[in-house]
Structures are given as C-alpha cells and as structure tokens.
C-alpha cells in the first residue's frame, strides 16, 4: 500500500520530503530577506547616531564627528549596513560589521557583566553573529553582487554547475 503523503512517487510534493525540498528551494530567498532586514536595521543605527534621525543617538542628538569609538562605529554601521542591505560586497561588509559588533560587545558591554542579558549587549551579540553568518553563507538570491556578476555563487552552486558540466555531452 502506498503512503498517502507522498503523491505516488519518491520525492513527491507532499509529506516531509516534499516540504523539505520546497524549503530548500526557498532557502536563497529567505537568506536574502534575512540579509536585507539585518542590513536595514544596522544602517538605521548608524543613521540615528550620525544624523539624529529615528530618535537620534542614545535617545536624541548626534555623535560628535571624529569621536572614538562612537562616531567611527556609526559610520561602519551606516555604510556596512547599506552594503549588506543591497547585497554589494556582502561578505566583506558583513565581516567588518561583525568585527565592529564584537569590539562593541567586549569593550562596552562585557566589562559590566559576563552575560548579554545582564550587560545590555544582546543587540551587539545578535548583530555580531548575524553578520558572521552572512560572511559564510553569502548574500542569498536577491543581491546586487549576483546581478552585477561580482558575487561568487555558493560552494554548492559551484559544485552543482561542475557536475552538470561533466554529465552534459560536449557539443559536436
């Protein structure tokens, strides 16, 4: 008797295997949406600190130009966040953003207490790890890197293309 959840063939569109296949196909788009949201939120922090928009820096105002480390962190937030948002130089921008958030966590928050919940460093820790994830995963499907051809595909995409090239007969 056939399993009613498999649409009659192995790898059908229903049941756990079908759901997994659909989720796998949607993965690059979900990753792209994740990248855009994280980049937008990060850029908003920089814009608030530099220009006083969205409530300004720490409840109002701006950070004076050139002050260490706040002003430089805000510039990194704005520029790296915008690059990650549009998917241009995503891995490099995400590495810079991740490092700046690691620095913020260990220099500003961690001396107060060990755990982020106690020292107010949850946002810095989350941004740090989210950007580090983007360093390893790349920008996802909807990104300027891919549109302009400057982004390299993921390792899986490269390996898949190589397998297809090996199995496709050469044109005579």
Rounded CA separation 41/172 (Å): 53
pLDDT for residue 150: 65
Rounded CA separation 98/65 (Å): 22
pLDDT for residue 70: 84
* Residue 138 Ramachandran class (φ > 0 left, ψ -120 to 50 alpha, else beta): left
| Dihedral sign of CA atoms 10, 11, 14, 16 in order | positive
* Contact status, residue 77 vs residue 111, Cβ threshold 8 Å: no
pLDDT in tens, the chain (172 residues): 444 444 444 545 677 888 889 999 999 999 999 999 999 999 999 999 898 888 777 777 777 788 888 899 999 999 999 999 999 999 999 999 999 999 999 999 989 988 888 998 999 999 999 999 999 999 998 899 888 876 555 545 545 544 554 455 554 3
């Amino acid at each position: 008797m056939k399993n009613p959840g498999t649409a009659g063939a192995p790898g059908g569109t229903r049941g756990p295997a079908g759901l997994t296949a659909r989720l796998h196909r949607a993965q690059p788009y979900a990753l792209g949406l994740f990248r855009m949201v994280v980049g937008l939120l990060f850029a908003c922090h920089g814009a608030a600190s530099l220009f006083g928009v969205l409530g300004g820096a720490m409840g109002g105002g701006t950070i004076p130009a050139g002050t260490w480390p706040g002003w430089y962190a805000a510039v990194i937030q704005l520029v790296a966040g915008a690059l990650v948002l549009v998917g241009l130089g995503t891995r490099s921008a995400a590495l810079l953003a991740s490092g700046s958030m690691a620095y913020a966590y260990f220099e500003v928050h961690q001396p107060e207490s060990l755990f982020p919940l106690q020292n107010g460093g949850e946002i810095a820790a989350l941004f740090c790890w989210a950007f580090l994830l983007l360093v390893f995963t790349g920008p996802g499907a909807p990104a300027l890197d891919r549109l302009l051809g400057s982004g390299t595909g993921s390792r899986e995409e490269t390996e898949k293309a190589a397998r297809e090239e090996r199995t496709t007969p050469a044109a005579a």
